[in-house]
A and B are shown apart, each in its own frame.
Chain A
């Protein structure tokens, strides 16, 4: 362990004395007792596959601030099963829908959680906000850059409280890492590397190219046309549908938007680019021409920000985010937080207001609840913006989309984060939008 009087310690004290601390706030307040029923947020779940059912439904069922009133899925089995679980666990019958528009018509529903495939997020979130609902939407927020800009506008117009499912922003390790970086405990931030490999290992993640399946008649319980929604029509095959959609560019963005939406989001937060982004992107990707998955199998994308910080995103080197500063480094993942100087990670090393922040945001002590949900529910009560507000989610997703666009085009690109336009590359602009199958529109 480094000595207290060592160089790193002195650098730290110097930095603490000269740098105004930045507090990474969550605005989360723990309830001392269960809220009255009238204070509970009445919620509809749109998309109750694995993520919607086994994460959101399970957590929100246990959360005294929330009341699930309806579930919806284009797969009848998903919806019925979710409703059955709620009936078994809480002895309540909830509305069961196969079309999200019917759920949105319910005036008693305050808010929705969207856990559908990415190609649905923008339309469902926008229609929910236009219907006066607050929204929690899974990451990646968007399928294209253009969608995100529209979503932010609608959220602001309707005053919607919007949480993006980048739940690492509510994870104490990631919060501490970001607070340390933003308070310049690493000196000047030089470079960030986001590793999108396999969690718990130091290995990369080669995205399997999938297995070809013959085109099939969709199962009777699945409304395939509704599942596809605005995406270009394709005949049904199981490896295009549940979960596997994330490896098809018509529905998602592969590893880049799947894990990238988490780790690049943390990078954006630490860089201070929550309402901005990089100005230059250079992506190298390997696409398996044998298919059927058409997202990048290997990737390495380099970004540059206006302040000179470089971000490298790759699916090698394990899983997590590494920050390199002029005075050291920090690595953070869902499993660990390491630093070149372990003194940095001690609670007493934090400046006073950061300790206050830490005390104010102790993890929710109600069993089975989740801090990211609580932040959203509390913000619905106070009408404040969430820790993963829609603008942050849009900008983080944009970083991922820029990487995918550069990899696909095979060339570096200039990006204006203020105008949200490419400089002089019309083909890149084309890939920044995805037309919708009729009659769907943004």
Chain B
């Protein structure tokens, strides 16, 4: 089925100054996107991605002469809605538009959401590339999105982020590493349990227990048991020791 010809008009209406008109247009577009998101609707989906993606990337010249500057054609609210619509369409086609939107300070968080939802390897690559961005909170979000990905490049990037001088980035990376069933991550976490900041110590202890559970759930029971015993012998908070005792069968609920 070809794309609904009204789509382009609705896209324009996303920029309408009347929020009710803009909302109505968004709801119409969302319905189109959901209908095209089925496993068999690949042709319509491709058309929709192109229309939404090009609008997200569209620019205009803001002023003439030496003051000329390229600015987004659509306002931030509309661009965020375009990125959100793209997040509902699985497949790699939307990734180039979303990757470009990661450089747009007003849209990059929604673009990250969309890439996190996108299961393609291209989305992983775009998120990895976004680790060169600025802003610790945004970077922590990128790391959180990468936690759901696997592969050597992801692991290497997370290990590198553990060395980041910004605390929020470092902690996000440590917590992300706890989701990978890899005992060699424990020394990194253990080191942070001796950090100066109480918040970092607390989160590192929690991440150690999380790593132990990740190991146990993946079948690496001996490694999990070793880690739980290390937690019991450490200065971890009582709640983490309780989890260790439970896992080791020393107490039961």
Contact A157 B27 (CB under 8 A): no
Residue B180 interfacial (CB < 8 Å):
no
Residue B168 interfacial (CB < 8 Å):
yes
A-side interface mostly: loop
User: A381-418 interface mask toward B, CB cutoff 8 Å, 1 = contact, 0 = none?
Assistant: 00111000000000000000000000011110000000
Most chain A CB atoms below 10 A, which of B24, B31, B38, B91: B38
Contact A410 B31 (CB under 8 A): yes
Number of interface residues of B (CB under 8 A): 53
Contact A438 B137 (CB under 8 A): yes
Contact A437 B141 (CB under 8 A): yes
Which chain A residues (401-442) contact chain B, with CB distance < 8 Å?
A: 408-411, 424-427, 429-431, 433, 435-441
- A433 to B117, alpha carbons, bound, how many Å? 8
Residue A206 interfacial (CB < 8 Å):
no
- A125 to B240, alpha carbons, bound, how many Å? 16
Contact A294 B117 (CB under 8 A): no
CB neighbours of A212 from chain B (8 A): 19-20
Contact B31 A431 (CB under 8 A): no
Most chain B CB atoms below 10 A, which of A158, A292, A408: A158
CB neighbours of B89 from chain A (8 A): 427
- A14 to B84, alpha carbons, bound, how many Å? 58
Most chain B CB atoms below 10 A, which of A408, A430, A433, A435: A435
Contact B27 A291 (CB under 8 A): yes
Number of chain A interface residues as a range: 35 or more
Residue B35 interfacial (CB < 8 Å):
yes
- A225 to B243, alpha carbons, bound, how many Å? 32
CB neighbours of A440 from chain B (8 A): 144
Residue B186 interfacial (CB < 8 Å):
no
Contact A159 B172 (CB under 8 A): no
- A324 to B10, alpha carbons, bound, how many Å? 46
CB neighbours of A132 from chain B (8 A): 237-239, 242
- In the complex, the chain B residue whose C-beta lies closest to that of A436 is B144
Contact A130 B206 (CB under 8 A): yes
- A131 to B247, alpha carbons, bound, how many Å? 17
- In the complex, the chain B residue whose C-beta lies closest to that of A409 is B34
Residue A32 interfacial (CB < 8 Å):
no
Residue A289 interfacial (CB < 8 Å):
yes
Contact B113 A435 (CB under 8 A): yes
Contact B243 A430 (CB under 8 A): no
B110, B119, B213, B252: the one within 8 Å of A426 (CB): B119
Nearest Cβ on chain B to A420's Cβ, whole angstroms: 14
CB neighbours of B247 from chain A (8 A): 157
- A158 to B209, alpha carbons, bound, how many Å? 10
Known: A157-B247, A441-B147. A289 touches B109 (CB 8 A): no
Residue A93 interfacial (CB < 8 Å):
no
Closest 6 CB pairs of A and B: A438-B141, A132-B239, A427-B37, A426-B90, A289-B27, A435-B113
